[in-house]
Chains A and B, each alone.
Chain A
Amino acid sequence: MVSASQPAPGDDKFGVYRSNAADLLWAEWEDLSAVFHRPSGETHILDALSAELLSILTQTPCDAAEAGRRLAERCGDGDGGRWTERAAVILNSLRQMGLIREDVVAGGRWP
């Protein structure tokens, strides 16, 4: 189930997701990535897409649509639009793990 905030028609509020690179320690291997989250002391195991998206968010905050576009770009897929929903699922999962923060802002689409 997707619960990450996305702008609905007529709704000018949307979620901006961010992560603090200094909070994270990374271990990356071919089969999976592990991330240690300093504030919680938890280690999280991530698949390749989740790790990629988390890495994106440590560099620049963005909304779900932009996250989808960047994910598509990194995966070499020109059609970023169809990645939005997939990105939203991953964002929700990362948010539940406490690895990213969602700020709901008003005023149209990011940026």
Chain B
Amino acid sequence: MSGWPRQRLAFGLGPFDIALSTDCPELLSQWRYFYDGLPQAGDGIHDFHLSVLRPLSHRRWFRPQAVFRLNRYSPFEPFPRHQAFPLLEWGINWVVASRAHDHLLLHSAALERTGKALILPALPGSGKSTLCAALALRGWRLLSDEFGMLHGQSGEVRPLPKAVVLKNASIDIIRRFEPGARIGPLFPGTRKGTVAHLATAAGCLARHREPAEPGWVVFPQYQAGVDTRLEPLPKGAAFVRLANNSFNYRLKEAEGFVALRDLIRRSDCYTLQFDSLTHAVTALDSLLP
């Protein structure tokens, strides 16, 4: 016997209903810190059945570990148990990227204002998550830190408002940018270094099913010492960059092509180079009508 009873949660998150079971009590308390505002899902059909459980081995007690599973499948090696929350966050990302093919999935942050979505596609190291966190702290509604989720038929950008993952130096940058930011515990020694999570605003969680119309596609690039420059990007070039940035563009075939084409048609496209978060937020605010 583990000594900790298995707990079960069921919640809605964006377009998905998720069931989660865990026997890691610290994961439950961290989950509640970040996601108490999410509505509970019913006992009906859930899109994904996830678990984060202690293994049935000596690693239950000795250097304890946690294992993430979708149904009975575990895509990752076990994590140290004190990293159960980041494990769950990455697990949900993996589930969405590998299973949610009803959507065209872009590797990007997405935020909303005035009903329009701002999509920030980027490679790791571009400053996407840090910029996303800054925008979310300055009045933009967080849709997602990790995915631009385009619904194929409507062309809407759907939310998946998980906590923004801040890595290494970004944690203190955001603390300085907004001292009142609700940032959870530090998780040192993960595969991505030290990570912490910026809690999603309660208003964003309450609107977690509310999509946005395409508005802007901006490719951000942090670079120390540069002046902030927001410049128009030709739409064809934006199309090519986004197609290469998608998790499932090839898998979606014609539907993916049409979804991407329509997104580009309906969006103004830019590149943004920035050094200062404040200046970057000001530049993006200038896009608003």
Interface positions of A (Cβ within 8 A of B): 25, 27, 29-34, 36, 38, 41, 43, 45
The proximity string for B residues 63-77 relative to A, scoring 1 for CB distances below 8 Å and 0 otherwise, is 000000000000000
Known: A36-B254, A41-B253. A30 touches B240 (CB 8 A): no
The 6 A-B pairs at the shortest CB distance, nearest first, are namely: A32-B236, A31-B234, A36-B257, A29-B236, A27-B261, A31-B236
B222 within 8 A of A: no
A-B contact pairs, 23 of them (CB 8 A): A25-B254, A27-B239, A27-B257, A27-B261, A29-B236, A29-B239, A29-B264, A30-B235, A30-B236, A31-B234, A31-B235, A31-B236, A31-B237, A32-B237, A32-B240, A33-B236, A34-B239, A34-B257, A34-B261, A36-B253, A41-B250, A43-B257, A45-B236
Residues of A within 8 A of B253 (CB): 36, 38, 41
Residues of A within 8 A of B235 (CB): 29-31
Instruction: Contact check, B254 vs A27: say whether CB atoms are below 8 A apart.
Output: no
Residues of B within 8 A of A27 (CB): 239, 257, 260-261, 264
B258 within 8 A of A: yes
Instruction: Contact check, B234 vs A29: say whether CB atoms are below 8 A apart.
Output: yes
Question: Which of B237, B257, B261 has the most chain A CB atoms inside 10 A of its CB?
Answer: B257
B243 within 8 A of A: yes
Interface residues in B249-289 by Cβ distance below 8 A to A read: 249-250, 253-254, 257-258, 260-261, 264
A30–B235 CA distance with the chains assembled, in angstroms:
8
Residues of A within 8 A of B254 (CB): 25, 36, 38
Residues of B within 8 A of A45 (CB): 236, 240
Residues of B within 8 A of A36 (CB): 253-254, 257
A33–B261 CA distance with the chains assembled, in angstroms:
11
A32–B258 CA distance with the chains assembled, in angstroms:
16
Known: A41-B250, A43-B243. A34 touches B258 (CB 8 A): no
| Min CB gap B150→A, angstroms | 15
A25–B250 CA distance with the chains assembled, in angstroms:
14
A27–B249 CA distance with the chains assembled, in angstroms:
15
| Min CB gap B265→A, angstroms | 8
A31–B241 CA distance with the chains assembled, in angstroms:
14
Task: Tell me which of B236, B249, B258 contacts A25 (CB under 8 A).
Answer: B258
A34–B257 CA distance with the chains assembled, in angstroms:
9
Apart from A32-B236, A36-B257, 11 more pairs, CB < 8 Å: A25-B257, A29-B235, A29-B239, A30-B235, A31-B234, A33-B236, A34-B243, A41-B253, A43-B243, A43-B249, A45-B240
Residues of B within 8 A of A25 (CB): 254, 257-258, 261
Residues of A within 8 A of B264 (CB): 27, 29
| Min CB gap B77→A, angstroms | 33
A25–B257 CA distance with the chains assembled, in angstroms:
8
| Min CB gap B236→A, angstroms | 4
| Min CB gap B243→A, angstroms | 6
A36–B260 CA distance with the chains assembled, in angstroms:
11
Closest chain B residue to A35, Cβ basis: B257
Residues of B within 8 A of A30 (CB): 234-236
Interface residues in B130-163 by Cβ distance below 8 A to A read: none
A111–B240 CA distance with the chains assembled, in angstroms:
38
